Amino acid sequence: MQNVFLDNTAVEIHREIQTGNIRHVVFDFDGTISLIRDGWQNVMVPMMVECLQTETDTTESQEQLEALVVEFVDRLTGKQTIYQMMQLSEEIEKRGGTPKEPLAYKDEYNRRLLPVVEERIAGLAAGTLPADPLRVPMSLEFLQSLREMEIHCYLASGTDVEFVKNEASLLGVADYFDGGIYGALREYKKFSKAMIIQKIITDFQLSRNELLIVGDGYVEIENAKTVGAIAVGVASVEDNMYNMNADKRERLIRAGADIIIFDFREGKQLLDYLFNL
Ligand SMILES: [Mg+2]
**Domain total of the chain:** 2
CATH number of domain containing 206: 3.40.50.1000
pLDDT above 80 (res 121): yes
Strand (E) or helix (H) holding 248: helix 248-255
- pLDDT, residue 80, reads 87
Taking only the tens place, the pLDDT of each residue in 53-84 is 999 999 999 999 999 999 999 888 878 899 99
Both 177 and 213 in a single domain?
Answer: yes
CB 262 within 8 A of CB 234: yes
Both 149 and 256 in a single domain?
Answer: yes
Both 259 and 165 in a single domain?
Answer: yes
Pairwise CA distance, residues 22 & 153, whole Å: 11
Both 73 and 172 in a single domain?
Answer: no
pLDDT above 70 (res 93): yes
pTM reported for the whole predicted model: 0.90
Both 154 and 247 in a single domain?
Answer: yes
Task: Report the candidate in 84, 159, 153 with the shortest Cα–Cα distance to residue 121.
Answer: 159
Q: How far is the CA of 38 from the centre of ligand 1 (A)?
A: 10
Among 65, 93, 126, the domain-final residue is 126
Both 251 and 151 in a single domain?
Answer: yes
Pairwise CA distance, residues 181 & 173, whole Å: 11
Both 137 and 247 in a single domain?
Answer: yes
Higher pLDDT, 2 or 105: 105
Q: How far is the CA of 126 from the centre of ligand 1 (A)?
A: 26
CB 156 within 8 A of CB 193: yes
Among 73, 96, 126, the domain-final residue is 126
Both 95 and 68 in a single domain?
Answer: yes
Both 85 and 29 in a single domain?
Answer: no
Q: How far is the CA of 101 from the centre of ligand 1 (A)?
A: 25
Both 137 and 264 in a single domain?
Answer: yes
Phi/psi at 154 (nearest 5 deg)?
Answer: -130, 150
**Which domain range does residue 108 map to?**
41-126
Both 48 and 21 in a single domain?
Answer: no
Among 85, 102, 126, the domain-final residue is 126
Q: How far is the CA of 272 from the centre of ligand 1 (A)?
A: 24
CB 146 within 8 A of CB 153: yes
- pLDDT, residue 5, reads 95
Q: Give 174: exposed, middle or buried? Use CB within 10 Å, 0-12, 13-18, 19+.
A: middle
- The residues whose Cβ lies within 5 A of ligand 1, an ion, are 28, 30-31, 216-217
Strand (E) or helix (H) holding 211: strand 211-215
- pLDDT, residue 246, reads 79
CB 189 within 8 A of CB 219: no
Both 151 and 243 in a single domain?
Answer: yes
